[in-house]
Chains A and B, each alone.
Chain A
Amino acid sequence: MIKKALGKGQADYIEIRLEEKAVTSVVYSGRELDGAGTNTTKGGNVRALYKGGWGFVSFNSMDQLEAKVAEACRAARLVGKGKSVLAKVPKVNADIRVSLKDDPRKISLAQKVELAKGYNGIIIGSKGIISSGVRYEDVFKKQTFANTEGSFIAEERVYCGAAFSAVAKDGANVQRAHDSVGGTEGYHTVLKLEQNAQQTVRDALGLLKAEKVSSGKYTVVMDPKMCGVFAHEAFGHLSEADHISENAKLKKMMTLGRRFGTSALSILDDATIKGQRGHYYYDEEGVASHKNYLIRNGILVGRLHSRQTAGRMNEKATGSARAISYQFGPIVRMGCTYIEPRDCSFQKMIGEIRHGLYVVSALGGMTELEMFTFSAMKAYLIKNGKLGPMVRDVILTGNVFETLKNIDAIGDDLELHGGLGGCGKDGQMPLPVSDGGPHIRVKDVVVGGK
């Protein structure tokens, strides 16, 4: 049916993607179970390329696929005014099924509710905590892809994760802490997380007593989570070729071969790591995922591409064209972005600092081209090589290129993190991604307290 429909289209290139998805979630807020249940979607899309312009049609009913192909071709003809260029990629025939020992689909809703209830009980039952949040979620997704070059790919993915939050209050002082885990390994990802729930409580209570940080320049040690946010938000997005090809200033900044850091620094995006939330076999253009070095030994060596951006820049496709659902066409995205570990131990990294900050986990951040602002969930002062008291309201700001140059120690303790949320771009949110790194040390970071 799909092949027949593809054969009828009139364009330079056409692809069809069909999707089936089931999302099961359990949400506690405070003492109440907000809801538990399963929603399903089924849909598909046709994307056609004509003279460099894309036409896109999405739908829920699979009837009249040929008419939908024709509609996408008509739309592409309205947009196309130039030349169609797509990077050459191998034709693929693949059928990838999930086989997990503990597939979350085999676990009953009652068990999932019981699990979330237990974690929520730990948080809301703690002294000093006024509000809690626990979210459990699993997603099963099956995608079928075919294009006019003869590729035909079926791929299943299963995501499973949990997120915790705790709000502590003392008078007018209100503090929040959170944690989340998530991946594609199966249900055991969300088991035995009592420690995480307890740590979230300790963090919220700890923040009540923490002093606000004094603003100034610090030597900063980032934990793997903050390191991951830095790698993804501050640097990763600059490596997305669709941004680069649209922005002359960025294009100049991101010239391959340019030195960005010491020879110890390597940053990569690797969507091939199994079990990670950002793992996939094929992207939404049917291109196999790759281990893509962006910076290798301090030098900019690569960037992330769709077939169109790769073709236009005369580079290789990287398997980075992703879409959150059948309602959207693929755009250039990350998978699992991290800084490669080296050999510095955490003890040595801290031990060499006279006056600094250890920042742990990010609350959020903003970037505008090379400038970034990240807020840490919590931080600890470092004095004469030792960790000191917790401080709060830590906001790191800086220029990503200067910051990369100032990384002077890279740890040996790589951790990757997926969580439950995801990345947002061009209205497509949340896309499952992972990021991480080891502990890293950065000189001269501007910290703005409140």
Chain B
Amino acid sequence: MNKIIDQILGLAKRKSEAAEVILVEGQESPVDFRSGKLHSVQHKEIKGAGLRVVKNGRIGFSSTTDLEKLPELVDHAVAGAAFGQPAAFKLPAGCRPAGVRTVDPKLEKFTTVQAVAEGNKALGILAQKAPALKCDIGLNKKSYQITLANSRGFRGRYDKTTFHYGLSGVAVINGSLTFIGQDRRGGKLDLATSVMTARIARMYHDAQKTAKLSSGKMPVLFMPEAMSLLWMSIAMGVNGKAEQKKTTPLLGRLGEKMLDPRITITDDPLLPYGLASAPFDDEGVCGAKLDLFRQGVFKSFIYDLQTAGLLNKRSTGHGSRSFGTQPSPQVSNLVISPGQTKLAQMIKNLDSGLIVYDLLGAGQSNIAAGDFSVNIGLGYKVEQGKIVGRVKDAMIAGNVYDLLKNKVLEISAETEAQGQYHTPAILFDGMNVAAK
């Protein structure tokens, strides 16, 4: 199938009991605007291989981008196996991949010249609608091919495209720095310039007034942009590695009602054009839709081969890596079930509370346990269903599991892709808000 793969496997088989090769070949073309000006146009090619071997029952790994020195790659992997972890898995011989759309032909044809033009168009709109905003823009098209093969006979290959489009701006409004941004990441060419600029313009407009805020408990509407923080925490919680290391609050809770019954979270590696979609995972295990929470009930952890083996489970097809690292369990596309009420109606119904878009300082919280205490980077006060101004110097704190189980007031009917999270907005009741 591929000369390089065959060569590596051939060499490795002579020196080890089992071997697996991943080969990544691709390119990306980032176009960046800074402070309203075209800053750089780049083209990056990537070609590299990762080799995992099992020798005397232990795992060895090495990677290289020098595909002319394959014997060295094999020697490094074998040498590392002397000190590797005992292998708790058998490599898969094969599976029948489901059809999944991972390549967008329109994106493949999209040129850097078109990317520059799109960025300029966005700058033009924002210069009119949000004149004080200094804008950074990034458009990045990636396309690559992943080939995976192992000594038990698995052979697989697929092509993949991804597109990232980020618009962000900073302005001094009423004496304080205000960051406003919108971000799209997915498998398709998604030139959402008009939607993104319209949202930024509205957020910019709403930030011109500052709302007074006093500390206390109040309803807070997490827009899809802000929901990522919560799903990141859930993604850590369902990770089989956290189960193995006993660091997840979900330990021993399979089958229990952990979230609000209106919440179903499905991991879907076969979502058309999803950011994390693939016909098989990075270890050659075919994935399928998997409910992690169904109507609030915790249904499944996610595993890669090694973690599953250590826990006497089966891989769920979540082995994830680049060619330069060993696999570890990672969620693919998380699809969260929508609610009944339109987002606009939810805001109208809100008597007094906050809307948050951007939360800062998540890295300093104990996210694994679900705890967070974050600054509101961009958020607004709502009174009688209307936005009355931006809130400044405020923090919100809580626990993700507590919020999603006990504090859900309403879930929006609309969902939106925030990278790999396909999420509605959620209104939570009685959140702790501290104003400085």
Task: Spot the interface stretch: B65-73, B148-156, B160-168, B269-277.
Answer: B65-73
| B82 located at the interface, meaning its Cβ lies under 8 Å from any Cβ of chain A in the complex | yes
Task: Spot the interface stretch: B41-49, B248-256, B410-418.
Answer: B41-49
Please tell me if the beta carbons of A53 and B38 are within 8 angstroms of each other in the complex: yes
Contacts of A75 in B (CB 8 A): 40-43, 112
| B380 located at the interface, meaning its Cβ lies under 8 Å from any Cβ of chain A in the complex | no
Please tell me if the beta carbons of B65 and A78 are within 8 angstroms of each other in the complex: no
Would you list which residues of chain A between 59 and 85 have a CB under 8 Å from chain B? 59-61, 71-72, 75-76, 78-79, 81
State the Cβ distance, A283 to closest chain B Cβ, in Å. 19
| B113 located at the interface, meaning its Cβ lies under 8 Å from any Cβ of chain A in the complex | yes
| B130 located at the interface, meaning its Cβ lies under 8 Å from any Cβ of chain A in the complex | no
Please tell me if the beta carbons of A41 and B64 are within 8 angstroms of each other in the complex: yes
Please tell me if the beta carbons of A57 and B66 are within 8 angstroms of each other in the complex: no
Q: Complex formed: what's the CA distance from A44 to B84 in Å?
A: 31
Write out, one digit per residue, whether chain A residues 77-111 have a CB within 8 A of any chain B CB (1) or not (0). Answer: 01101000000000000000000000000000110
| B219 located at the interface, meaning its Cβ lies under 8 Å from any Cβ of chain A in the complex | no
Would you list which residues of chain A between 380 and 417 have a CB under 8 Å from chain B? none
A43, closest chain B residue (CB): B65
Please tell me if the beta carbons of B60 and A37 are within 8 angstroms of each other in the complex: yes
Picked from B60, B66, B83, the residue with its CB within 8 Å of the CB of A113 is B83
Would you list which residues of chain B between 35 and 59 have a CB under 8 Å from chain A? 35, 38-48
Q: Complex formed: what's the CA distance from A246 to B34 in Å?
A: 10
Contacts of A53 in B (CB 8 A): 38, 40
| B332 located at the interface, meaning its Cβ lies under 8 Å from any Cβ of chain A in the complex | no
Interface of A is mostly: strand
Q: Complex formed: what's the CA distance from A32 to B326 in Å?
A: 17
| A262 located at the interface, meaning its Cβ lies under 8 Å from any Cβ of chain B in the complex | no
State the Cβ distance, A429 to closest chain B Cβ, in Å. 15
Picked from A35, A40, A55, A57, the residue with its CB within 8 Å of the CB of B80 is A35
Contacts of A42 in B (CB 8 A): 64-66, 68-69
| A327 located at the interface, meaning its Cβ lies under 8 Å from any Cβ of chain B in the complex | yes
| B262 located at the interface, meaning its Cβ lies under 8 Å from any Cβ of chain A in the complex | no
Please tell me if the beta carbons of A37 and B43 are within 8 angstroms of each other in the complex: no
| B76 located at the interface, meaning its Cβ lies under 8 Å from any Cβ of chain A in the complex | yes
Contacts of B80 in A (CB 8 A): 35-38, 109
Please tell me if the beta carbons of B63 and A39 are within 8 angstroms of each other in the complex: yes
Interface of B is mostly: mixed
| B62 located at the interface, meaning its Cβ lies under 8 Å from any Cβ of chain A in the complex | yes
Please tell me if the beta carbons of B64 and A57 are within 8 angstroms of each other in the complex: no
Contacts of A156 in B (CB 8 A): none
**What is the number of contacts between chain A and chain B, taking CB atoms within 8 Å?**
112
State the Cβ distance, B129 to closest chain A Cβ, in Å. 24
State the Cβ distance, A141 to closest chain B Cβ, in Å. 13
State the Cβ distance, A42 to closest chain B Cβ, in Å. 4
Max count, chain A CB within 10 A of own CB: residue among B43, B77, B116: B43
State the Cβ distance, A200 to closest chain B Cβ, in Å. 23
| A444 located at the interface, meaning its Cβ lies under 8 Å from any Cβ of chain B in the complex | no
Q: Complex formed: what's the CA distance from A410 to B189 in Å?
A: 58
State the Cβ distance, B133 to closest chain A Cβ, in Å. 16
| A315 located at the interface, meaning its Cβ lies under 8 Å from any Cβ of chain B in the complex | no
State the Cβ distance, B55 to closest chain A Cβ, in Å. 12
Picked from B44, B47, B73, B77, the residue with its CB within 8 Å of the CB of A327 is B44
Picked from A20, A40, A59, the residue with its CB within 8 Å of the CB of B45 is A59
Picked from B35, B41, B76, B84, the residue with its CB within 8 Å of the CB of A78 is B41
Q: Complex formed: what's the CA distance from A113 to B85 in Å?
A: 14
- Count of chain B residues with a beta carbon within 8 Å of a chain A beta carbon: 37
Q: Complex formed: what's the CA distance from A76 to B63 in Å?
A: 32
Please tell me if the beta carbons of A35 and B326 are within 8 angstroms of each other in the complex: yes
Q: Complex formed: what's the CA distance from A37 to B85 in Å?
A: 12
| B61 located at the interface, meaning its Cβ lies under 8 Å from any Cβ of chain A in the complex | yes
Contacts of B65 in A (CB 8 A): 40-43, 60
Please tell me if the beta carbons of B46 and A78 are within 8 angstroms of each other in the complex: no
Write out, one digit per residue, whether chain A residues 14-32 have a CB within 8 A of any chain B CB (1) or not (0). Answer: 0000001000001000001
State the Cβ distance, A21 to closest chain B Cβ, in Å. 9
B80, closest chain A residue (CB): A37
Write out, one digit per residue, whether chain A residues 49-60 have a CB within 8 A of any chain B CB (1) or not (0). Answer: 000011111111
A57/B44 contact (C-beta < 8 A), A40-B72, A40-B76, A246-B35 known: yes
Contacts of A33 in B (CB 8 A): 83, 85
Please tell me if the beta carbons of B73 and A78 are within 8 angstroms of each other in the complex: no
B324, closest chain A residue (CB): A39
Q: Complex formed: what's the CA distance from A32 to B83 in Å?
A: 10
Please tell me if the beta carbons of B42 and A38 are within 8 angstroms of each other in the complex: no
Contacts of A55 in B (CB 8 A): 40-42
Q: Complex formed: what's the CA distance from A329 to B40 in Å?
A: 10
Contacts of B73 in A (CB 8 A): 40
Max count, chain A CB within 10 A of own CB: residue among B73, B83, B112: B83
Q: Complex formed: what's the CA distance from A448 to B326 in Å?
A: 42
Contacts of B61 in A (CB 8 A): 35, 37
Contacts of B63 in A (CB 8 A): 39-40
| B311 located at the interface, meaning its Cβ lies under 8 Å from any Cβ of chain A in the complex | no
State the Cβ distance, B53 to closest chain A Cβ, in Å. 11
Picked from B46, B48, B62, the residue with its CB within 8 Å of the CB of A37 is B62
| B79 located at the interface, meaning its Cβ lies under 8 Å from any Cβ of chain A in the complex | yes
Please tell me if the beta carbons of A71 and B43 are within 8 angstroms of each other in the complex: yes
Please tell me if the beta carbons of A38 and B79 are within 8 angstroms of each other in the complex: yes
State the Cβ distance, A131 to closest chain B Cβ, in Å. 12
A58/B44 contact (C-beta < 8 A), A39-B324, A246-B35 known: yes
B28, closest chain A residue (CB): A58
Contacts of A113 in B (CB 8 A): 83
Please tell me if the beta carbons of A79 and B41 are within 8 angstroms of each other in the complex: yes
A108, closest chain B residue (CB): B79
Q: Which B positions have Cβ atoms within 8 angstroms of A? A: 35, 38-48, 60-69, 72-73, 76-77, 79-80, 82-85, 112-113, 116, 324, 326
30 contacts between A and B (CB under 8 A): A33-B83, A33-B85, A35-B83, A35-B84, A36-B80, A36-B83, A37-B84, A38-B62, A38-B79, A39-B63, A39-B64, A39-B76, A41-B64, A42-B66, A54-B40, A55-B40, A56-B43, A58-B43, A59-B44, A59-B45, A60-B65, A61-B45, A61-B47, A61-B67, A75-B112, A76-B41, A78-B112, A109-B79, A110-B82, A329-B40
Given contacts A37-B84, A109-B79, 5 further A-B contacts (CB under 8 A): A42-B65, A55-B42, A57-B42, A61-B47, A81-B38
List of 6 A-B pairs having minimum Cβ-Cβ separation, nearest first = A37-B80, A42-B66, A75-B41, A36-B83, A60-B47, A59-B45
